[in-house]
Amino acid sequence: MVTSVINWFEDKRKFGGFIGALLEEATRSSLSNEREKRVSVNASKGLWARCDNCGNMLYVKFLKQNRSVCEERGYHLPMNSMERIELSIDPNTWIPMDEDTTARDVLSFSDEDSHENRLLLSQEKTGLVDAVQTGIGYLNGKLIAPGVMDFHFMGGSMGSVVGEKITRLIEYATQKVLPLVLICASGGARMQEGTFSLMQMAKISSVLQLHQVRKKLLYISVPTYPTTGGVTASFGMLGDIIIAESKAYIAFAGKRVIEQTLRQKIPDDFQAAESSFTNGLLDSIVPRNLLKGVLSEIFEPYFSVPYNK
């Protein structure tokens, strides 16, 4: 099996060498530690949380120890991006990129509240500037380029900042010959930013084309609960390898919208990772606590393939 995977990587990548990115940004890690503290303080408010799926009340301390997995039926509840980063790479190796890129309310959008206010509230609540964190870090001693979306920031919606940060991360990974991992959690494109949000789908897809097809570099996408709309319809489903989290909800249009449009009931497990896997949409389903190990196993043969120009 390992040999065939190595062959696959060899076929996929016929050039270049893993030069590894220089850690010139290392000085910025102190900044991120500061942010990390803020995020964990925000996340630790309250002693109890309710499971979205079974409705059970869960003791936050145990829930955290259990990596936000509800023990009742193994539902994987949304995690914040910092917890995910800690779970996915070697400790203390995270170097964030574009931390100060913030959105402008170019459309002066307002419904019950202004977009500007919503952004400020989300920034205060999460300690993040927008719904994604991008950067580089080590996994089992190998440098990779992860991007992690945060559902707690305006439902993980993809606006111009999310799109731009992911685009820059992909361009950086392509330039430095790094494998890319994008962990998705999103309600889709950010409606408050209109066409600017939709534009991000095409922008990200085109830089991914350069990364994957032209430069033959690896991209793994990890859809988690929930991954929907414009994220599913662009980078969420473009991974060379797509690894969903157990019981993740992966959809383009939501179940209710489909039922209302078709005027018929759709099955309960519709759009669950398990049924998408059965129908061939995903390569694998992995429980949260095993993800890091699975990624390491994939990267091991990938990094062991020698470079031939």
d(CA 211, CA 304): 19
Binding region for Zn ion (CB under 5 A) = 51, 53-54, 70, 72, 75
Q: Cβ closer to Zn ion: 73 or 104? A: 73
Residues 259, 243, 22: CA angle, nearest 5 degrees? 130
The set of residues, in sequence order, having a beta carbon less than 8 Å from that of 150 and lying 6+ positions away, is: 80, 81, 126, 128, 131, 132, 133, 156, 185
CB of 279 to Zn ion, least distance (A): 25
CA 31 to chain centre: 22
Q: Cβ closer to Zn ion: 47 or 202? A: 47
Q: Cβ closer to Zn ion: 17 or 74? A: 74
| 210 C-beta neighbours (distance < 10 Å), count | 13
d(CA 97, CA 32): 10
Q: Cβ closer to Zn ion: 58 or 218? A: 58
Tokens representing residue 245 in the block: 């989290």
Indicate the Cα dihedral angle 19, 21, 26, 28, nearest 10°. Answer: 180
CA atoms within 13 A on the CB side of 142: 18
Q: Cβ closer to Zn ion: 69 or 129? A: 69
